[in-house]
């Protein structure tokens, strides 16, 4: 890539780092000549600020080198592209996990300055080893001022006001639609927007995309303009208090689901956001909290538990083998809810597993990792062989069960597992893809990872390109990729029998949902009709 297109002289950039920097200076610093002076942290910061300001259309002076970059809108795709551009400028390969491990400009620049060698090479093995593991137990700190002991919640005959986070997400859209259909409550939805009209528009468009919107919903959807990552959601003290005095029940489903972000990047929304929800529950009207957690809180540490199955009563006291930032953030967030429960809050916790699309329409969140993996593998012409069972729960079933369980008057806090038995093995999914007429071959996992590194890196249009850090980063002392760790350690099987028994108690008739191949067929048909997947040559 032409360096002159990447870095140009800008007075604002020079002012930011306190010295005159021009194009020739940076070109000289990034020369491939081993005898040349290596780029300093200040030059790398200047390049990153300049590049980000143009890519994200943000004034350079508004970019803080210590702020986590995703707060500026740097998503996983943009981060991967930025890594490639940085490698082009410096003239050597940069590890794809660079912005995963070092999520701020300052951290990236310091790391590169300290680790550049005379031959302009980075010892990439140090990236994974240089970080001390996060002590997640020390992250579990709930504001001591949040107490609930004298706040007895009495379930009203019919809930009148609900506060919902996550309404512009996938599960959040279906939860909102179910609540609107099955209650008469006004639903206050936290949403990031400039004004109430745009906030309402965001919520309506999300429901419309998933074919859920009904005109009758309009007057009962009440946008609350705020941000989960900010204290009091960014509301004034009076606004926050007014909200607390008004709502009776909280459904907290808002979270950032990203498989390449670190714990530090996910903490503001997933952890701090949960604390702020618990803050809302601690003041004003006594409130019941419904918290959407995840089976990811048990990720890949069956050996540590010493048992192949975990149920609703299994203690949440282990993080061994938990490497994904998302899993770590959900573990810490749920532990905060447990602390609030110990202080007197009545809260129900729901742990879905992998959520599939709608059982009838086939509508899926095609940005989810499994659909990217399927789509990317189809484009590559090969799929990895993995000894893994797939448990897919239709989104309409998950949302219906959450609403049904949440509307029952349980005498105390409960935990629910929303995970049906496995429907299909991963290798059988490969056969299903072949049955659709896609010319795809199965490869041993190690060979597939090698093919991914060769093909996807050079094909930025491949859906797996933004997820390369997830697939290629090596973890633990074994230096295995995430898929290899999944094969080696396995995740414990999630037992949901207690939840199924409770559902039988409270519902007169449980609708049946398609499973296995029928459910996957519905998803494939939707993705093909939407143009997400290329149309196959033939279908068996």
Give the integer Cα–Cα distance in Å for 464 and 174. Answer: 27
Which secondary-structure segment (H or E) carries 495?
none
Secondary structure element (H or E) that encloses residue 189, with its range: strand 186-191
Q: What would the two tokens of residue 416 be?
A: 């629910």
The two tokens of residue 228 are 């989960």
Please check whether residue 304 is in contact with residue 500, taking contact to mean a CB–CB distance below 8 angstroms.
no
Gap between the Cα atoms of 346 and 245, Å rounded:
17
Question: What ranges make up the beta strands (E) of 64-185?
Answer: 161-165
Q: Is the CB of residue 241 less than 8 Å from the CB of residue 283? A: yes
Q: What confidence score (pLDDT) does residue 162 get?
A: 96
Per-residue tokens: 43: 């030059």
What residues have CB less than 8 Å from 327, skipping those under 6 apart? 294, 296, 297, 299
Q: Which residues pair with 415 in a beta bridge?
A: 349
**Interacting residues of 97 by C-beta distance below 8 A, sequence separation 6+:** 127, 128, 260, 469, 472, 473
**How is 452-482 classified by DSSP, letter by letter?**
HHHHGGG-TTSTTGGGHHHHH--BTTTTB-H
pLDDT in tens, the chain (540 residues): 333 332 332 333 333 333 333 433 433 443 344 334 667 888 888 888 888 888 777 888 888 888 877 677 776 667 777 777 777 777 666 776 677 677 788 888 877 777 664 444 434 344 333 444 688 999 999 999 999 976 666 666 688 999 999 999 999 999 999 999 999 999 999 999 999 999 999 999 999 999 999 999 999 999 999 999 999 999 999 999 999 999 999 999 999 988 888 898 899 999 999 999 999 999 998 899 999 999 999 886 555 556 678 889 988 887 777 888 999 999 999 999 999 999 999 999 999 988 999 998 999 998 888 999 999 999 999 999 988 888 888 999 999 999 999 999 888 999 999 987 767 788 888 888 988 889 999 999 999 999 988 876 677 788 888 888 888 888 766 778 888 877 776 677 888 999 999 998 887 666 677 667 788 889 999 999 999 998 887 554
Helices (H) and strands (E) in the chain, counts: 24, 13
Cβ–Cβ under 8 Å, residues 427 and 442: yes
Per-residue model confidence (pLDDT) at position 21: 34
Shortest CA distance to 282 belongs to which of 232, 333, 227, 316? 232
Report the alpha-carbon distance of residue 254 to residue 230 in Å, rounded.
Answer: 13
3-state DSSP assignment of residue 256: coil
Angle between helix 273-281 and helix 325-342 axes, rounded to 10 deg: 20
Query: How far does CA 68 lie from the centroid of its chain?
Result: 16
- Write out the two tokens for 5: 């297109």
- Burial profile 390-423: b = 16 or more Cβ within 10 angstroms, e = fewer: bbbbbbbbbbbbbbbbbbeeeeebbbbbbbbebb
Sheet holding 249-252, edge to edge: 221-225, 186-191, 161-165, 249-252, 288-292, 347-352, 414-418
What is the pLDDT, as a whole number, of residue 8? Answer: 35
Global confidence as pTM: 0.79
Q: How far apart are CA 190 and CA 509, in angstroms?
A: 33
């Amino acid at each position: 890539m032409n360096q002159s297109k990447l870095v140009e002289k800008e007075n604002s950039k020079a002012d930011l780092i306190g010295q005159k920097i021009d194009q020739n200076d940076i070109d000289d610093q990034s020369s491939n000549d081993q005898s040349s002076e290596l780029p300093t942290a200040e030059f790398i910061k200047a390049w990153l600020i300049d590049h980000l300001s143009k890519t994200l259309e943000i004034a350079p002076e508004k970019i803080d080198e210590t702020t986590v970059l995703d707060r500026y809108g740097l998503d996983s795709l943009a981060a991967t592209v930025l890594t490639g551009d940085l490698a082009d400028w410096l003239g050597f390969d940069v590890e794809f996990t660079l912005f995963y491990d070092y999520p701020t400009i300052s951290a990236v620049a310091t790391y590169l300055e300290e680790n550049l060698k005379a031959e302009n090479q980075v010892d990439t093995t140090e990236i994974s080893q240089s970080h001390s593991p996060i002590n997640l137990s020390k992250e579990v700190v709930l504001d001591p001022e949040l107490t609930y002991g004298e706040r007895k919640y009495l379930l009203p005959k019919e809930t009148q006001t609900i506060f919902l986070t996550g309404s512009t997400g996938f599960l959040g859209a279906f939860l909102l639609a179910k609540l609107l259909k099955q209650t008469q409550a006004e639903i206050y939805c936290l949403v990031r927007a400039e004004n109430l009209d745009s906030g309402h528009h965001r919520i309506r468009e999300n429901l419309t995309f998933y074919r859920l919107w009904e005109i009758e919903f309009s007057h009962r959807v009440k946008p609350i303009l705020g941000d989960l990552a900010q204290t009091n959601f960014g509301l004034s003290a009076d606004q926050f208090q007014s909200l607390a005095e008004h709502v009776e029940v909280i459904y907290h489903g808002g979270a950032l689901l990203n498989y390449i972000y670190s714990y530090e990047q996910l903490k503001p929304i997933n952890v701090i956001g949960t604390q702020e929800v618990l803050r809302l529950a601690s003041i004003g009207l006594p409130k019941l909290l419904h918290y959407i957690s995840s089976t990811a809180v048990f990720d890949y540490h069956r050996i540590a538990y010493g048992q192949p199955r975990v149920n609703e009563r299994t203690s949440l006291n282990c993080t061994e083998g938990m490497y994904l930032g998302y899993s770590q953030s959900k573990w810490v967030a749920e532990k905060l809810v447990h602390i609030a429960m110990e202080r007197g809050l009545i809260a129900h916790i729901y742990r879905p597993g992998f959520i599939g699309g709608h059982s009838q329409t086939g509508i899926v969140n095609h940005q989810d990792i499994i659909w990217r993996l399927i789509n990317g593998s189809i484009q590559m012409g090969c799929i990895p062989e993995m000894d893994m069972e797939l448990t897919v729960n239709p989104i309409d079933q998950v949302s219906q069960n959450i609403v049904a369980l949440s509307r029952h008057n349980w005498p105390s806090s409960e935990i629910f597992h929303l995970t049906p038995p496995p429907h299909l093995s991963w290798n059988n999914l490969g056969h299903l893809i072949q049955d659709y007429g896609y010319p795809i071959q199965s490869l041993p996992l190690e060979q597939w990872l090698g093919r991914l590194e060769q093909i996807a890196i050079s094909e930025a249009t491949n859906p797996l390109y933004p997820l390369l850090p997830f697939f290629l980063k090596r973890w633990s002392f074994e230096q295995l990729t995430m898929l290899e760790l999944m094969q080696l350690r396995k995740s414990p099987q999630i037992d949901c029998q207690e939840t199924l028994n409770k559902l039988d108690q409270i519902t007169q008739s449980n609708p049946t949902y398609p499973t296995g191949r029928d459910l996957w067929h519905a998803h494939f048909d939707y993705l093909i009709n939407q143009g997400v997947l290329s149309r196959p040559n033939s279908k068996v």
